[in-house]
Structure 1
Amino acid sequence: MSVHEAELVVSVREFSADGVLALTLRHPLGQELPSWEPGAHVDLLLGPELERQYSLCSDPADRSAWRIAVLREPGGRGGSAYVHDALGEGDKVRVRGPRNHFRLEPAPRYRFVAGGIGITPILPMLAAAEAAGADWSLLYGGRSRSSLAFTGELSRYGDRVTLAPQDETGLLDLGPVLDEVPDGTLVYCCGPAPLLDAVEERCPAGVLRVERFRPKTRHGSDDREFELVLARSGRSLTVPPDVSVLDTVRAAGVEVLYSCTEGTCGTCETDVVEGAPDHRDSVLTEEERAAGDTMMICVSRCRGARLVLDL
């Protein structure tokens, strides 16, 4: 699988809300960047063992630049602090991608729900839905009005957008949005886990599409040992109960792309040739899990005794 990777330059650095830093990235030689669709994200390779994923939130038609927005997380693992403190205008950063596991599917109606920094993948979706002439609305919540990012851009949509700062209106009132979802409607949601769980509970089956920043708790089958066959070489490996597929193939000297190691970014997605994956990721849809064609090897395992991967 060919994955684009390049060193880009920070051309614009500006705050779009309290604690939310927006960076515009360009090619140092002015070359066009790869095309992308709403919902896509890129990996920022910030240093050894420091890679983070951020949604693209600019105009997909503008291939001269990409924009991301990063929320400073004081209790985070260091990625947001690095972006906020170490990346200034003119600085270069290694970027890989884009990739997309949160695509905007065609539909006559959309209901968008965003919480906090979860507005970033939703923002280009709104423009796409508007351009397609779809019936859509956005419910966007956060701690306070000053913490809501890109409100200036959202204002052009008028009453299609409802801003709901928690210190003014309390928790998001999902009832008006989700209690009656007309046929043909798709619901897109991104934000903190409690919001995603609440939306998931109220949504009719089959209409919800989510993107998670943190892994969803999944209880897979027993972590038993199984045989792993690498289809390209025919090599056979043993995956112990307490070792991931990713760590097993890396220990065997096989180079594979990976990033989050939590099953949220999709970087390590690998085609399944034979066997039944035990999916434990937070990326694939239920339909994709049922098909069993691919798996995230950083967290998912095997339901049987043998798994053959396209490696």
Structure 2
Amino acid sequence: MAHSMATRSSALSSQFAGSAPGFVRGAAGVPDGAIGAGRRLDKSKAVRTDTRTTQLRESQRRHRQRKLNYIKSLEDRAKSADEAWRRVSELEAMCVTLQQELDEFRNPSSNHGSNIRHSQNHNNVSRVLDIDEACTMLCSIPAITNSSLVPQFFNLVQAQVDCNDVKLQRLFILRTLKVSSDILDLCGVVDRQKIYDIMMDFKKKNSSHEIYLNQMTTNFKFNPDDSASKSSLSSTLSPPSDLIIPEARADPANMDGIESLFRSSLKAIKSLQGASHLINDLCDVGRVMNRMKRYHSFRSLSKAVASEAMKKKRVRQDLYRSESEYKIMNAY
């Protein structure tokens, strides 16, 4: 009986093996279609797994690429920001330098500028500004276009600043007045008005220089505060007792009546005895300034004469007499 059951099972096995290719031997009672479906499920699952892995790798690759691009963009932005910061720093430094140069160029006491000459004189308080421009404008006037007096005038103006000797400075001042008077003699009324306008503009640009020269002329110590400087006489400056200026000195034989009267009246004042050099300088400057219509130095020298009279501590009648002669000077 056992032998017959084994023979039957082997026959069934051989029968099913020929008709169902997906039949798994030893799995009794399992249909052939169920076994094929399991194999197809395994294959589709493997395909899905491979696709998911490929997609994951691709997404990771894209993510890494995005990270690299982002990092590169950050590096580029950092580099451009660094370059921009350097440019800003350079521009700020350039602005500071330009502002300093502009301040020094505008400062009348500076030693810099295209139209400013350099000097080693430590007593200088200002530089003469716009000499070339003023010289060119004066030379454009037809009456003095080919005259050598214009360059000579500005050379004397510059020499006043470059000179350390007070007596030589006064000499340059008187020579400047003489040259300016000669320039005006060459011009008519219209040209004189043009010269006046040019020199007034030149004077405004060199106001500190003018104050300095006026104070040097009147024997006062320079002080930026003009009111404070007039309160004390300088002990370092001496009166121009030995100035000999043939161009500016007047010949007594050729003096007009008003000037001769004015000079003799001042010398007759007892308190002004010994100050004839101041009286002579006052009259010489007044004669030259009469044609220039610029009386500042003339009045300054007259104040120096009055200071000399007050220093003598003479009687008050002499001061009254000096005041009356000062009125004559204004009329002159």
TM-score category of the 2 structures, normalised to the smaller one: under 0.3
Which structure has more relative contact order (CA 8 Å, sep 6+)? It is: 1
Higher percent of residues as strand:
1
Q: TM-score under structure 2 normalisation?
A: 0.23
Higher percent of residues as helix:
2
Structure with higher Rg: it is 2
Q: TM-score under structure 1 normalisation?
A: 0.24
